[in-house]
Amino acid sequence: MPGKLKVKIVAGRHLPVMDRASDLTDAFVEVKFGNTTFKTDVYPKSLNPQWNSEWFKFEVDDEELQDEPLQITVLDHDTYSANDAIGKVYIDIDPLLYSEAATVISGWFPIYDTIHGIRGEINVVVKVDLFNDLNRFRQSSCGVKFFCTTSIPKCYRAVVIHGFVEELVVNEDPEYQWIDRIRTPRASNEARQRLISLMSGELQRKIGLKVLEMRGNAVVGYLQCFDLEGESGLVVRAIGTACTLDKLSNTSAFLPACNSPSKEMKEIPFNEDPNPNTYSSGPSTPLKNQTYSFSPSKSYSRQSSSSDTDLSLTPKTAPSPQGPRIFLFPSSPTLSCDSPHVKKSCLLLSGSSVKPLHCSHVSPVVLRKSVSFTEELLLAASGMGSGSAGKEGGPFKTLLRQQTQSALEQREFPFFTLTTFPPGFLLHVGGVVSARSVKLLDRIHNPAFVGIMGNTRSYKLLDWNSFNSDEPETRDAWWAEIRQEIKSHAKALGCHAVVGYSESTSICEEVCILSASGTAAVLNPRFLQDGTMEGCLEQRLSWQPGFFSIGSEKGEVDFFPQSQDSSSLLGIEEASPPGCGFCHIPYDELNMPFPAHLTYCYNCRKQKVPDVLFTTIDLPVEAIVVGKGCLIQARLCRLKKKAQAEANATSISNLLPFMEYEVHTQLMNKLKLRGMNALFGLRIQITVGENMLMGLASATGVYLAALPTPGGIQIAGKTPNDGTYEQHISHMQKKINDTIAKNKELYEINPPELPEEIIGSPIPEPRQRSRLLRSQSESSDEVTELDLSHGKKDAFVLEIDDTDAMEDVHSLLTDVPPPSGFYSCNTEIMPGINNWTPEIQMFTAVRVSRLSNINPTNQTLNKNFNDLCENLLKSLYFKLRSMVPCCLCHVNFTVALPEDELVQIAVTAVAITYDKNQALQANKAPTEKSQQRASTDNEEQLQFPLELSSDPLSSQPFSPAKEALEGASSHTGIPAAQRATSLEKASPLAEGYLRHRSVPSGTNSTVSVVKMTPLSFLPGAKITKYLGIINMFFIRETTSLREEGGVSGFLHAFIAEVFAMVRAHVAALGGNAVVSYIMKQCVFMENPNKNQAQCLINVSGDAVIFVRESELEALPVPAPTAQPAGSAGDVTT
Amino acid sequence: MSSDLDVFVGNTTLIDEEVYRLWLDGHSVAEAVARRLRGGVLEREGTSVAVLQSDTRDHYRTFQMLERLLHAPPRLLQQLLFQIPPERQALLVQRYYAFDEALARELLGKKLSKGTKKELDEVSARTGVGIRSCRRQFDNFKRVFKAVEELRGPLAENIQQLFLLPPALARDYAAIVFSGIWGLWERFWGFLGCPDPPFSSRDYAAIVFFANSRFETGKRRLQFLSFGDFAACAQSMMAHWSQGALAPEAADPDGDLPKSFLQDLKELKVLVSDKDLLDQHKSLVCSALRGKISVYNELEANFKALSRALVNVGGKLTHARDVRDFFVDLVEKVIEPCRSDKWSPGDLRLFLTHYTAAPRNLPGFRHQALWERYMAAISACLLRMYHD
């Protein structure tokens, strides 16, 4: 599919003065793509040149289109000497290659120079004409969409979630090539920027190919990283989750929801108008219920059937009467089409459940298979036109797939980089699994190299000193090893999949720590296979969260699925309280992979749950949470002897388990200190430096209603007879108890007292304490402790002497809660807050501190590190004080150890304001029984898809109103009222933006506002279009550090420039926001003696167009606006 | 554990108004932190000095980066580096170009040269405005002056467009520029002739005005006059005398004050040169005021001197050299005599009203319209200046 790339250079403005004599510039522009270069005329003597060039046309093949960036260089013409470069603009044209993303890139781009920063702006227009070419051996993957967002993007529908895709590309780092000694820093930086741009393009193309092979059309949760391995090279690697997505058109969004598209239809990517003839394509649907019954059986099968029978004999307690409330749709006009829909989905469910099909293949094995890709399969399905993975479909292919799948089972990784899932997707969560390995870097010899060589075009770019394609596929093998380990950990937890999966590295000199972590989980197979998931997805559209998780519980599955008619099935599913299914243990109680303390679920009383749950995913929307969440961090330093090569690697590997253990203990203690029982979004980062290791774990603690109340923290003295010691201990104990009480109040943790008589099932003994600091033994802590370790083989013994213990207790108490009006979390949404207002502020803060101790000990280092993080947080709270009440969401800390005594911490997060009044109202709400609340939730959630009918599949950005929803059932016409209130509540800032935008670009508004957020959504707004992925890499260097305001001035300017360039690219694509923004790398190096500094930043995100809800509803629906603002739903609009 | 590097960058640039003010006032980071501490921010927010320092440094860095753009405000609107909501941008510009009246008063009539800049130390000591702030404001005046010096068109509008200042502030700048060069003097009228704008741009216009026309404002006997007095005077002159004031739509697009007006003012001399007219004028005014003002006797005695002074000031306006004495003449020949005779402001007002109105009844005086136009500004100036 070759294409024609057309570029027009319109004008420049604010160029720097290049000719001192005239104070002017004679600028012209070079436009380069691949090996072709065009030039504009020289526009003499102007700082605001108007080139208005012709269309420069590049005829290239699509492979090149995907790999190459468009390179625009602005130069100053000089008659007598060489032309001076003013700066460059790299434009990734990938977004133009999707069938329905951006059609043109047009706008002002900052002209960037790696030495001088931004120097003026240039106005460019870029277009691409693609020609269809059905070459079955093509190397390109145009049309595959990429999303950084780790959930199914809003305004899309997941037809199939195929599974894990990964790829890596290796090259030499230009910075370390011999030529670097003779070229200028600028040339070196540019070579590096260009190379990385090229490599990411190539990587993306290759991943795209894999996706096409899997017959998907998109990658969600795409995470691309660079490993700057120094001498040994440069690795660009990426992971993601392949999906088949369906675009939901705004108008028909609800209707298609009623129809399950036929199998063939869904293979057409971004199909806007799904075929209405639906579940007639039977053979594809039936698997789901079978798999249900089998997936739990996996663990049972290994042993006595006792647990199995136990489960199945568990009496079905009376369904809670609130279930049916789901049917009470608010009588708003938008809901008129409900009832037929309800019927349809019922039918659908029953229809599929009675058909026992493909039994022989249904087993956990199949499940795992289905989520991975296979290359062979792709051969069969390859050769499709752009964006389409093939339309032939049919039984032949199904058969083929099954064969190939079983053949390839060993190679598959059932991993998902998603952190938020369509409701019903996640059945059970086992716990965090992680694996690390320490490797010594050597010169890179990688198979990817061969790939590049075969690709004649890029060959010239890559300046190889030496290569040896016989070398083993080192990096690939390393990662494969780690993934294998993760997979086996998950298996040990009785899980067949890993969700919230991510990989990272930390490199110091020649040592590299590779880490991978995720959450072991049992998934609903219906989402993983073609054709099996429509029913379920359809339903989701109407039912929303909570519904399917219920249905997926093992006990019920054993009893009901095949035989019940639709209504009873529905009834049963309603009966079980929603929002706790994922907490239920996936492993077998009698054969637990580790000692854990289990109790019956506090919500449904039917299934066993652990007493603490750690996960790397976001809080599922259906989860029932008590109170609010909070950011919990564990911080740790460990000294390490300086060593070389293997000795170094060995000492690091020896330290790692202890660090993991300590980090985990800290997390557990801090969690208990806050009276909470679950962690979400857990991310443990271990950073290696010359003489120390640092561990930083961040997570969001919450109180899950389904899990038992956490016990307090008990301090036991070692020498009971010592009076003063005893006193001291009791004093500490009191302090800790006070803190717990205070935190419970702060986070509004008032778990409902379950009247135990009413619930007949065995009441678990409330665990009163978790032993801390002294011993462990039976403690449930180990559920996750073990998960965190390298499998079962490492058994940790907790031995802490008294001073250490004291230190630990002290450090526990030094964590200061955020000032009033602030909450923080590292997940997408803050549990317990749901009334967001549209004002957001994304920021990046970077700190580098010198650990100046002469003889550092672990304790002093720990304290320093702790202080550093705490101060940074404090400083953020202070900076953002004008936004109170607000919540810092997606707080992402990255630690680096650039030099001996330097610690660098970078934080990116977004502050979102919320409406305090509503929060207050929520406070006032008396605690009600969780069951009731849950059902109210359901009801509330129901409004969601109806109201936002255009993106019913999106995961809900806001946790549904819980406490705030007193009496919500009586509310009618909520949506209208909500719109009205949200309109009123638009913050002054937002109004400013609105005004700003509405003003025709006159003298005072030429720059369009682009919002940036690390979240996948914008509060109070609806994303209407995804324009493509933004993935940018910049280098900035200076040789006049002092003159630029020192290191802070230098980095401040650079980060601002990076933001500016991201915004400019988004605006040029026609977007007004970046979601899922992430700064993946910020490598800062300085040499104050030479007055030099260098910094590399890599950022990515999804460019989108959003529309404010208030704008969406140009005219407020004439509805009772007397609706009290208390309906928390308005956040959701 | 010291922080070598400490930055915070928001997608929307955070602007703290308090810190901005401290920065504009020329305080160093340490001073600014000390002042913020005194403001009680620690107690309010429950934070630490280190946090405050870090925050202040961040803001200062931002402002330093912004300063380059503030030198050409339209660039601030077009630049892509900082995302700042429009209302915040306006605030930044306005605050940056706002000036201390005490300083402006000192600079009125002075050349905006390097020499003057060197004297800013003294000015700073006299006015109590920080030296760094003085330099910034001086540079602002100079920048505005340079930018509009050679432009055609109404001064204040030019300033408004080039620096995105609110009209009032632009006018003040215009006034300052105006006091420097005679060439702009006439254009300035046009500029000032537009309908009454809000405060601050007016101030700048006034400054430009004075910078251009080099009114003598530094003499000792003028010390009692504030910048506000001068700005008000300049504005009433422009309001009443410029062509635009009479017929805005007919005004020369360049806003040049018609030479004819200044020439015509010479015709008014007849009021004092013609003995009959002078006597009749005096009797008309005296009869109207008899019993109405407390200083009737003094008025009767001084009428001729006053009238001569008032008329002659206008006659001299055609010559740049004499223009500089405009305020000196008014003070020396009108205000000081009246003050020594203990006229009350009310007396002066009554006198000026009747003095202006009386020639209507003078037979053979043909310049009634011109006279009233002239006297309207003069009266306004005198009343404004008549204080201690």
pLDDT in tens, B242-252: 654 443 333 34
Cβ separation A1059–B83 shorter than 8 A: yes
Mean pLDDT of chain A: 68
Tokens of A602: 């506090």
Pick from B64, B75, B80: CB nearest A108: B80
Q: Is A318 exposed, middle or buried (0-12, 13-18, 19+ CB in 10 A)?
A: exposed
Indicate the DSSP class of residue A350: H
- Report pLDDT digits (tens) over A385-412: 333 333 333 444 344 444 434 333 444 6
Band of residue B28 on the pLDDT scale cut at 50, 70, 90: very high
Quick one: average pLDDT of B2-12?
A: 85
* Residues on chain A touching B164 (C-beta within 8 angstroms): 1004
Looking at the complex, report in whole angstroms how far the Cα of residue B202 sits from the nearest Cα belonging to chain A. 21
Minimal CA separation from B85 to chain A, in Å:
7
For residue A689, list its beta bridge partners.
Answer: none
Q: Which residue has the tokens 């020396």?
A: B332
Strand A218-228 with A145-146, pairing: parallel
Residues A903-909 have a mean pLDDT of: 93
Per the CB < 8 Å rule, is A1003 touching B77?
A: yes
Phi then psi for residue B6, to 5 deg, are: -155, 100
User: Cβ contact (<8 Å) for B4 and A1011?
Assistant: no
A852, B50: Cβ pair inside 8 Å? no
Q: Two tokens at A1001? A: 């670009």
Token look-up 């300033």 returns: B159
Average pLDDT taken over every residue of chain B: 77
Residue A272, pLDDT above cutoff 80: no
Q: Mean pLDDT, to the nearest integer, of A1108-1118?
A: 61
Q: What is the DSSP letter of A968?
A: G
Band the pLDDT of A1078: cuts 50, 70, 90.
very high
Instruction: Flag whether pLDDT at A209 surpasses 60.
Output: yes
Give the confidence band of A126 by pLDDT, cuts at 50, 70, 90. very high
Q: Do B86 and A995 touch (CB under 8 A)?
A: yes
**CA A1006 – CA A1009 distance, rounded (Å):** 10
**Inter-chain residue contact B50 with A1047, CB threshold 8 Å:** no
Nearest to B186 by CA among B108, B251, B259, B110: B259
Q: Which of B6, B102, B119, B20 is nearest to B53 (CA)?
A: B6
CA dist B145 and A807 (Å) reads 65
3-state DSSP call for residue B262?
helix
Cα A792 to Cα A726: distance, rounded to the nearest angstrom: 37
Q: Å from B183 to nearest chain A CA?
A: 27
| CB-based contact A13 B62, cutoff 8 Å | no
Q: How many residues in chain A? A: 1133
Cβ–Cβ gap B7/A1011 under 8 Å? no
CB contact B8 to A (< 8 Å) = yes
Distance CA A896, CA A877 (A): 23
Q: How many CA atoms lie within 13 A of A374 on its CB side?
A: 21
Q: Is B9 on the interface with A (CB under 8 A)?
A: yes
Between A798 and B74, the more confident residue is B74
B-chain residue closest to A847, CA distance: B6
Report whether A704 contacts A583 (CB < 8 A).
Answer: yes
Interchain pair B61, A1006: CB under 8 A: no
Name the pLDDT band for A1066 (thresholds 50, 70, 90).
very high
Ranges of beta strands (E only) in A787-945 are 822-824, 836-850, 886-896, 902-914
Spell out which residues of chain B touch residue A1012, defining contact as CB-CB under 8 Å: 11
Average pLDDT over residues A503-512: 88
DSSP strand pairing (A1021-1038 vs A1073-1087):
unpaired
Tokens coding B311: 């008329």
For residue B3, which residues of chain A lie inside 8 Å, CB to CB? 847-849
The residue type of A774 is: R
Minimum Cα–Cα distance from A112: chain B residue: B81
Q: Where are the beta strands (DSSP E) in A902-1020?
A: 902-914, 1011-1012
Rounded Cα distance between A227 and A690, Å, is 18
Identify which of B5, B45, B74 has the shortest CB distance to residue A1047.
Answer: B5
Which chain A residues have a beta carbon less than 8 Å from that of B83?
1007, 1009-1010, 1059-1060, 1063
CA dihedral A184, A187, A188, A194 (to 10 degrees): 180
Nearest to A913 by CA among A986, A978, A981: A986
Q: How far apart are alpha carbons A879 and A564 in whole angstroms?
A: 58
Interface A–B counts its CB contacts (< 8 A) at 149
Q: What are phi and psi of B109, to 5 degrees?
A: 80, -10
Query: What chain A residue is nearest to B56 in terms of C-alpha separation?
Result: A879
ipTM computed for the complex: 0.72
Determine the residue among B3, B9, B146 to mutate to test chain A binding: the one whose Cβ has the most chain A Cβ atoms within 10 Å.
B9
Between CA B308 and CA B329 the distance in angstroms is: 11
Q: What mean pLDDT comes out for the span A1093-1102? A: 93
pLDDT at B11 over 70: yes
Beta strands across the sheet bearing A836-850: A822-824, A886-896, A902-914, A836-850, B2-10
pLDDT of residue B147: 80
Region of residue A890 (left: phi > 0; alpha: psi -120 to 50; beta: else): left
* H and E: helices and strands count for chain B: 25, 1
Distance of CA B284 to the CA centre of its chain: 36
Mean pLDDT of A1001-1018: 74
pLDDT for A574 equals 36
Higher confidence at residue A662 or residue A724? A662
In the predicted structure, residue A266 carries a pLDDT above the cut 90: no
For residue B25 the two structure tokens come to 């006032």
Cβ(A783)–Cβ(A610) under 8 Å? Answer: yes
The tokens describing A1095, both together, are: 């910094």
Best of A850, A865, A875 to disrupt the B interface by mutation (most B CBs within 10 Å)? A875
Is residue A884 pLDDT above 50, yes or no? yes
The pLDDT score that the predictor gives to residue A1012 is 94
- Residue A283 neighbours by CB distance under 10 Å: 14
Q: Is B61 on the interface with A (CB under 8 A)?
A: yes
- Residue B17: CB atoms within 10 A of its CB come to 12
User: Who contacts A262 (Cβ-Cβ below 8 Å, separation ≥6)?
Assistant: A275, A277, A278, A280, A281
Which burial class, exposed, middle or buried, applies to B36 when counting CB atoms under 10 A from its CB (0-12, 13-18, 19+)?
A: buried
- Residue B3: which of A849, A1006, A1012 has the nearest Cβ? A849
Q: Determine which of A15, A871, A1058 to mutate to test the interface with B (most B C-beta atoms within 10 Å).
A: A871
Q: Which of A878, A1006, A1056 is opposite residue B82, by nearest beta carbon?
A: A1056
Q: Which residues of A fall within a CB distance of 8 Å from B65?
A: 1052-1053, 1056
Nearest Cα residue to B230 out of B387, B386, B384: B384
Sign of the dihedral through C-alpha A941, A947, A953, A954: negative
Looking at chain A, which residue has its C-alpha nearest residue B162?
A1003
- Of A309, A301, A247, A241, which Cα lies nearest the Cα of A273? A247
| Closest A-chain CA to B81 | A1060
> What value does the CA radius of gyration of chain A take, rounded to a whole number of Å?
29
Interface mutation vs chain B, best among A848, A1048, A1077, most B CBs within 10 Å: A1048
Distance in Å, alpha carbon of A1047 to nearest chain B alpha carbon = 6
A868: Cβ contacts below 8 Å, ≥ 6 apart: A847, A849, A903, A905, B1
Nearest CB to A1048; choose among B2, B6, B81: B6
- Among B5, B64, B85, whose Cβ lies nearest the Cβ of A847? B5
Tell me, yes or no, if B5 comes closer than 8 A to chain A by beta carbon: yes
Residues of B whose CB is below 8 A from A1057: 81
CA-closest candidate to residue A1107, choices A975, A948, A892:
A948
User: How far, in Å, CA of B147 to CA of B163, rounded?
Assistant: 9
Query: Would the CB atoms of B78 and A842 count as touching at under 8 Å?
Result: no
Q: Which residue of B has its CA nearest to A1048?
A: B5
Q: Return d(Cα A95, Cα A71) in angstroms, integer.
A: 16
Nearest alpha carbon to residue A747 among A711, A713, A701: A701
Of residues B3, B8, B12, nearest to A879 (C-beta)? B8
Angstrom distance (rounded) from CA A232 to CA A897: 19
List of chain B residues whose C-beta atoms are within 8 Å of the C-beta of residue A1053? 65
Are A849 and B2 within 8 A, CB to CB?
A: yes
| Secondary structure, 3-state, A587-623 | CCHHHCCCCCCEEECCCCCCCEEECCEECCCCCCCCC
Q: Under a CB-based contact definition with an 8 Å cutoff, are residues A501 and A523 in contact?
A: no
How buried is residue A619: exposed, middle or buried, by Cβ count under 10 Å (0-12/13-18/19+)? Answer: buried
Q: Does residue A288 have a pLDDT over 70?
A: no
Strands lying side by side in the sheet with A678-688: A613-614, A678-688, A692-704, A625-639
Instruction: Report d(CA A1124, CA A981) in Å as an integer.
Output: 9
Q: If pLDDT is split at 50, 70 and 90, which confidence band does B8 have?
A: very high
Around A976, how many Cα atoms within 13 Å sit in the side-chain half-sphere?
Answer: 18
**C-alpha torsion sign, points B141, B147, B149, B153:** negative
Tokens linked to A186: 């600028």
Residue in chain B lying closest to A903 (CA): B3
End-to-end, the C-alpha distance of chain A in Å comes to 41
Query: Which residues of chain A have a CB within 8 Å of the CB of B10?
Result: 841-843, 879
Decide if pLDDT at A495 tops 80.
yes
Any A CB within 8 A of B40 CB: no
- By 3-state DSSP, what share of chain B in percent is helix, strand and coil, each rounded to 5? 70, 5, 25
Number of H helices, E strands in chain A: 28, 31
pLDDT band at A134 (very low <50, low <70, confident <90, very high): low
Residue listed under structure tokens 């647990």? A307
Instruction: For residue A1126, give how far its alpha carbon lies from the nearest alpha carbon of chain B (Å).
Output: 29
Lowest-confidence segment of A170-174, A257-261, A617-621, A1084-1088 by average pLDDT: A257-261
Q: What distance in Å separates the CA atoms of residue A13 and residue B263, rounded to the nearest whole number?
A: 47
- Of chain A, the percentage scoring pLDDT greater than 70 comes to 59
Provide the strand spans (E) within A380-482.
426-440
User: Which residue from B minimizes the CA distance to A1012?
Assistant: B11
CA distance A1033 to chain B (A): 17
Return the closest-CA partner of residue A946 out of A966, A967, A975. A975
Mark yes or no for CB contact A1048/B61 under 8 Å.
Answer: yes
Number of CB atoms found within 10 A of residue B328's CB = 16
d(CA B91, CA A1045): 25
In the block, tokens 């066993």 appear at A608
